[in-house]
Amino acid sequence: MAPSSDAACPSEVEIELFPFIRVYKNGNIERLFGTRTVPASLDATTGVASKDVTIDPATGLSVRLYLPPAAGAGAKKLPVLVYFHGGGFMVESAASPMYHRYLNAVAARAGAIAVSVEYRRVPEHPLPAAYDDSCAALAWAVDACAAGGGGSEPWLAAHGDASRVFLAGDSAGANIAHNVALRAAAEVIAGVMLLHPFFWDPSNTMAPELEVRIRREWRFMCARPDAKLDDPRICPTSAGAATLLAAMPCGRVMVAVAENDFLAPKGRAYHAALLASGWRGEAELVDTPAQGHVFHLLRPGTEAAAEMLGRVADFISRA
C-alpha cells in the first residue's frame, strides 16, 4: 500500500494516530510527515561521502553508508556506528533530510563510518519486521568489516573496525537499538546509545491520554489488538525483563533523555533498571534540561544540540 494524499484518499479514515499516520478504509495510507528524502552525496560542509547499498532485495532492506574524511588519513581502521532512525516505526527513513544531515555530522565529528538502516515500517510490515531487518543490517555490517580487503562492501572492508561497532537510535530507533543489542552476540557490540527512547514503564505514570496513545500505538505497530504493554520489547522494565537487561552484550550504554519530553521518565526508569539488573557495564544517563523530544535533530543549530552531538561522538571515540 502506497502513501497517499488527502485528495487521493476519499475513503473514510479507519485509523488515525496523530501526528504519524492515517489509514483509510480503502487501504490507502497517508503518512503525515517524514516523507521527504534526499539522495546520497558528498556533503560539502563535513566532507562526508554517502551511498546507498541494498542488503536484501527480497525484503528491500538497505542502508545508507557514511564515510568520513578520516578514512583517508591513514591505514587505521575506524569505528562503525549502526544507526536506527526514529518515527514511531511508521514515518521517516534513512534518506530523510533530518537524518541525512545528522549522520553526516556524527560521522565527521566522531571519525566513524555510519550505517543508517532503512528498515521496513508499520503498518505495511508490522513488528517484528523492523527488528528483524535491523538485526540483519547489523550482521551484514559486522561481516563486511571482518571480511577485510576482499569484502563485497569496500568502505566497510577497507575502513571498518569490527571490534568497535556501536548501536544507536532515537525514539523508536532507540527502542530498536535496545532490542537488536539483546539479540546480538556478546563479542559484536562495543556500546549502545539510546536517545530519547520509546519505552513504556508502568511505575512512571503519565497523563491518561498519553497512556492511551501509547497503548493504541503499540497495538497498531504489532497489528495485534491484544498486544500488551508488558511485552519486554516495549517495556524492558517489566517483570522478568531484568534477566534480559543483565545480559546486555556490551560494556557501555548511554541513555539520553530531555526534561520536556513525555518519554523522559521511561528513559530514566530504563537506566535505573539496567543498573539494578546485575549487568556489569557502565551506564551513563544524559538528562538535558529545558529541551523536548529529539531536540538535537529538530534544532541542530542550538547549543544544546551541539553538546549532544559532542556526547555521541565522545562515546564512540572513547572505545
| CA–CA distance, 305 with 98 (Å, rounded to integer) | 13
DSSP letter string, 244-312: HHHT-SSSEEEEEEETT-TTHHHHHHHHHHHHHTT--SEEEEEEETT--TTHHHH-TTSHHHHHHHHHH
Our answer to whether residue 93 is catalytic in this structure is: no
3-state helix, strand, coil in the chain (%, to 5): 35, 25, 40
| CA–CA distance, 3 with 155 (Å, rounded to integer) | 33
How many other C-beta atoms lie within 10 A of the C-beta of residue 16? 14
Among the listed residues 62, 96, 171, 238, the single catalytic one is: 171
Cell (9 digits) for 113? 563510518
Beta-bridge partners for 115: 65, 82
Question: How far, in Å, are 54, 136, 152, 257 from residue 273 at the CA level?
Answer: 37, 27, 40, 15
**Residue type for position 312:** V
Q: For cell 543490517, name the residue.
A: 137
Catalytic machinery residues: 171
